[in-house]
Amino acid sequence: MPMNKTGSSRLKPDTISRRTYFYINNPDARGFPEPELIALDRSGYTVVLNRVAIDNAPPYLAASSREEFSALLRRIAPGELLVVLELASLGCSARDVLATLTRCRKAKIAVRCVELGNCDLTARPEPQAVKTLRAIVRMDRSVRSLRSTESLKSARENGRPTGRPASFSGGDRERIVRSLGKGLSVSEVARRFGTSRQTVMRVRAAAAPPAGDS
Tens-digit pLDDT profile for residues 153-204 = 776 777 665 555 556 777 888 888 889 988 889 888 888 888 888 888 888 8
Average pLDDT, integer, range 28-45: 88
- H helical segments located in the chain: 13-17, 34-42, 67-75, 94-106, 128-157, 170-181, 186-193, 197-207
pLDDT tens by residue, 44-96? 999 999 999 999 999 899 999 999 999 999 999 999 999 999 999 999 999 99
- Angle 118-123-126 (CA atoms, 0-180°, nearest 5)? 95
pLDDT tens by residue, 42-55? 999 999 999 999 99
Rounded to whole angstroms, the Cα distance separating 21 from 90 reads 14
Rounded to whole angstroms, the Cα distance separating 128 from 157 reads 43
pTM for the structure as a whole:
0.64
Rounded to whole angstroms, the Cα distance separating 119 from 89 reads 16
